[in-house]
Chain A
Amino acid sequence: MLRVEGLHVYYGAIHALKGISFSVAEGELVTLLGANGAGKTTALKTISGLLRPRAGTVALEEHALEELGPHEIVRLGVVHVPEGRKIFPRFTVLENLKAGAYARRASSIREDFDFVFTLFPRLKERARQMGGTLSGGEQQMLAIGRGLMAKPKLLLLDEPSMGLAPLLVEQIFATIRAINQQGVTILLVEQNAAMALSISERGYVLETGTVILEGKASDLVTSDRVRQAYLGG
């Protein structure tokens, strides 16, 4: 479904992605692992159109995403839930969710509100609260909920468990798996390698802008390099 090939991305003189390639098949849940600064966020931003690659291609089925702007890429069903949640602080929970459905026709979003509220009942209780005053965990639920409001075919999640209490982390991962089982393809970026691999089919490991390892999630969990670097021995 998504095929990234030979991607080079720069920030000015900084060479952040040095020719990485990876792919995600329809219905899959794939994890992108890597230390801080490896280039995971950069990769997601390039897919969603916030960054332009200097070289390489990002193909979604027959579409060349590297030639499109972010507003067009969303309309193809590629939805990016950014790192750090990026809730609109001066929108209410409801307005944030509505913003997620911006690219769609207003008439068809009713059920999706219900779907998001079933996944995250807390959001329903807080519907009229300002995004900026939600707790970190509530903001993360809202960020994922807002992404779902766009009716993604491919969901890009950047560190959805960051800064959350262990119980909530488990809940978020369970939700991600549930969303995937509903037929949404997911590319997940995570620091929590054990959890991420436990719900994924495949994974890639990035190091300073290159893919150093890839394979089935079950193989990666047992690989020495992943164990040493991300799973604490």
Chain B
Amino acid sequence: MDLALAIFPQVLMDGVVLGFMYALIALGYTMVYGVLEFINFAHSEIFVIGAFVGVEVLLLLEASGNLAALHPAFILVVLLFAGMALSGLAAVGLERVAYRPLRGAPRLVPLISAIGASFFLQDFIRFIESLWRNTFYLTYPSIDVLEKTISLGEAVTIPVKSILVIATALAMLLALYLLVNRTKVGTAIRAVAQDPDTAALMGIHVNRIIALTFFVGGSMGGAAGVLFGLHYSLVNPYAGFIPGLKAFTAAVLGGIGNIPGAVLGGMVLGLMEAFAASYLSILTSGAFGAEYKDVFAFVVLILILIFRPKGILGEKVREEGV
């Protein structure tokens, strides 16, 4: 039990970091679902694009000798904006090319298109990186400040990396909250999510709002990609699959289409996973090891969905006018 107590703060921190990561990715799934009632399965690759933009910017800075010279805060901001911009644009392009022409087709059709787009993007990234760097397994160059830790008392040390992830994620969530709830385009996004035809009758340019939603959701995924790279260092074109699947799960868990739900679902899933990874073997005296963390997390997920099929904060996404 002593051990269990001693590692608690560390596990909590890991869970929170993971939770924010899932939350940021989950937003892309949930926002697009909100306006189109469609799961963008290529969103995991939008996330990976962010991770690759991040590593490429860092490698280019390193090669030009600027990595050490420039202020790390400046580098991080550039990294995030570059990742967000490219992921956002990629998501917009994807919508234009792979989804919009299929609007009005049976629901399965755009889904298949999304899966196809997902494979295409994976191999496209692989192709580009192979041409350009002769490998598609890349490592983030280290930034010194990020390798430091901050000690709180004797038992708890917090890696600066984790603080970066949490602080950035909080800032992005706040920005998203303000965009969606306090601006005119935010009103338009929420109106389209409730009823696209009626939104059009209000003078809202529905296609533009859908594209914007892809951009915003995509850029959240891109930011998550950059943070993922900074935190775990290794990226490859297929690295989006597992985090994407988990984030999609988080979105469903929170209630697909519901923005606070995506954040909550991400956090629940991240915490469950971290606690399962550390505590399963302690609590079962080694019968179940950390490798069962996903089993545990998904069992809890299934239980929650049995009792709340629409997710924790879920509601019917698009009501008919009464």
Contacts and interface: CB of A to CB of B under 8 A. Distances in A.
Contact of A48 (B199, B201, B205): B201
B77 to A, nearest CB: 32
Given A132-B322, A136-B322, A80 B194 contact: no
B322 A85 contact: yes
A71 B200 contact: yes
A74 B206 CA distance: 13
A127 interface: no
Given A71-B206, A86-B321, A87-B321, A102 B200 contact: no
Contact of A103 (B198, B202, B206): B202
Interface stretch (B182-190, B295-303, B305-313): B182-190
Interface stretch (A19-27, A56-64, A90-98): A90-98
Interface centre among B195, B200, B205, B319, by most chain A C-beta atoms within 10 angstroms, is B200
B21 interface: no
Contacts of A98: 187
Contact of A102 (B202, B319, B321): B202
B190 A71 contact: no
* Range for the number of chain B residues in contact with chain A: 20 to 34
A71 B195 CA distance: 14
Given A85-B321, A139-B322, A95 B187 contact: yes
B202 A100 contact: yes
Nearest to B197: A50
Interface centre among A88, A95, A103, by most chain B C-beta atoms within 10 angstroms, is A88
Contacts of A95: 187
A206 to B, nearest CB: 21
B203 A89 contact: no
B215 to A, nearest CB: 19
Given A87-B321, A132-B319, A136-B322, A82 B201 contact: yes
Interface residues of A, number: 30
Contact of A74 (B188, B202, B319, B322): B202
Contact of B188 (A80, A102, A136, A146): A102
B321 A91 contact: no
B256 interface: no
A99 interface: yes
A108 to B, nearest CB: 14
B53 interface: no
A165 B190 CA distance: 32
B195 A102 contact: no
Contact of A50 (B201, B320, B321): B201
Given A88-B191, A88-B194, A91-B190, A69 B200 contact: yes
A75 interface: yes
A84 interface: yes
B76 interface: no
B204 interface: yes
A226 interface: no
A70 interface: yes
B305 to A, nearest CB: 22
Contact of B204 (A71, A82, A89): A71
Interface of B: 184, 187-188, 190-191, 194-195, 197-206, 319-322
Interface of A: 48-50, 69-71, 74-75, 79-80, 82, 84-91, 95, 98-100, 102-103, 132, 136, 139, 146, 150
The 6 closest A-B pairs by CB, nearest first: A103-B203, A74-B203, A70-B200, A86-B321, A86-B198, A102-B202
20 contacts: A50-B197, A70-B201, A74-B202, A75-B203, A79-B201, A82-B198, A82-B201, A82-B321, A84-B320, A84-B321, A85-B322, A88-B190, A89-B194, A89-B321, A98-B187, A99-B199, A102-B187, A102-B188, A102-B191, A102-B203
